[in-house]
Structure 1
């Protein structure tokens, strides 16, 4: 079963597109994201959703990548899927990946795809909630403590069958999804502190290659 990855730079906010272009060790965060995905030989196609206002900059950041990477202008996953649907044969695993999670380990990506192949219609990598979660009222007064035993923070890539993928792009919801273990390196890079962590991860990766 083949695998198709849709990379979106507006997973949470419209401003995520600009964040995806933030430099990490001299290259855009998006460049690191796509390079990591293309390093997996069993991924057939990486489709990058590029908001119109950033399409040229996205293309420049990914100019050196092979044909397995395709950039489609538009931020809607439905529009992006419709643009490449005719080129998708068979019944592949569909992954949706946040462009800001540039250093998600390859093993996590594989585990998500494998869980879909094993029969889970939708899959999400998660981490246990480490912080104490407080509940407040409208006046910002703490009214209780949420039991974090069953709370999880969701990461990407999200994994889907074709049917559940099409349902997700029309009405995003992860209710009922199967979970697997996420990884701390799969953090969203959104501020200066996280950029420093990303630079450290990127530098460590280069040292391992050397």
Structure 2
């Protein structure tokens, strides 16, 4: 059979894991952060839709609070989601790392690429998601989207008593990047990282780095910011309003 007539191999199957078990205390009392509403829709639903917007993503696994899987499943059922994408809700652990591991354990055979996405980044554009997936497809074992820093950064000697903190260094800003999600991984690489790194680490790419495995950066997007404080909710609402205006609804 000639190269021209030989069928091309199938594209690697991609799944996204969204850990959503945290309470988000910096947003204040009330519902867990992932369930806070943006434009009347829970932040988690926006994040799930952001992953499912990529045609490469065939499965989204939402990792719920340990005692809240039924509630999250009901929440997703109540909102329209793309029919071409499968959705799964599993209970998580006490830490983010444990919850991501629960999501990994729930993945079926045949998934080659795994995205890990913060539920608190509900507005990441699909082009950013696709760029991460494409970089993994091209051979990178771990990929993070990131932006250059706009502010000068100071390294300080922390003071627990609240007194002024001495500056000990000013890192070269051009060498630094602010990392976002989704982070993308070759599945086997991410599973090895979660097996080898057992202390509580909140960044999956950092776990892969500890294996000595290279991590690469692709351009992030300003709308992939993390909703952490009340002002972030205001900004997220403004982004959604602009999108509605631009899309004509």
Range into which the TM-score falls when normalised by the shorter chain = 0.7 to 0.9
- Segments of structure 1 that go 5 or more residues without pairing to the other structure are none
Residue 108 of structure 1 corresponds to which residue in structure 2?
128
Give the SS at the match of 2:170: strand
Normalising by structure 2, we get a TM-score of 0.75
CA contact 2:189–2:208 (8 Å) conserved in 1: no
Q: Cα offset for 1:121?
A: 0.7
Q: How does 1:30-49 map to 2 (within 5 A)?
A: 30-49=44-63
Matched, 1:15 2:35: no
Deviation per CA, 1:182-203, whole angstroms, max 9, x where unpaired?
Answer: 0110000111111011111122
CA contact 1:25–1:199 (8 Å) conserved in 2: yes
* Aligned counterparts of 2:208 and 2:178: Cα–Cα separation in 1: 12
Deviation per CA, 1:148-206, whole angstroms, max 9, x where unpaired?
Answer: 22111111111111221212333342523011010110000111111011111122223
Q: Cα offset for 1:81?
A: 2.1
Matched, 1:142 2:156: no
Residue 82 of structure 1 corresponds to which residue in structure 2?
105
Residue 73 of structure 1 corresponds to which residue in structure 2?
91
- Segments of structure 2 that go 5 or more residues without pairing to the other structure are 1-11, 25-30, 94-98, 160-164, 198-203
CA distance 1:201–1:168, change in 2 (3 Å): farther
Residue 146 of structure 2 corresponds to which residue in structure 1?
126
Give the SS at the match of 1:52: coil
Matching residue within 24, 31, 54 for 2:38:
24
CA contact 1:18–1:54 (8 Å) conserved in 2: no
Normalising by structure 1, we get a TM-score of 0.88
Matched, 1:97 2:108: no
Give the SS at the match of 1:107: helix
Give the SS at the match of 2:57: coil
How many residue pairs get aligned? The number is 204
CA contact 1:126–1:152 (8 Å) conserved in 2: yes
Give the SS at the match of 1:189: coil
Runs of 4 or more above 4 Å deviation: none
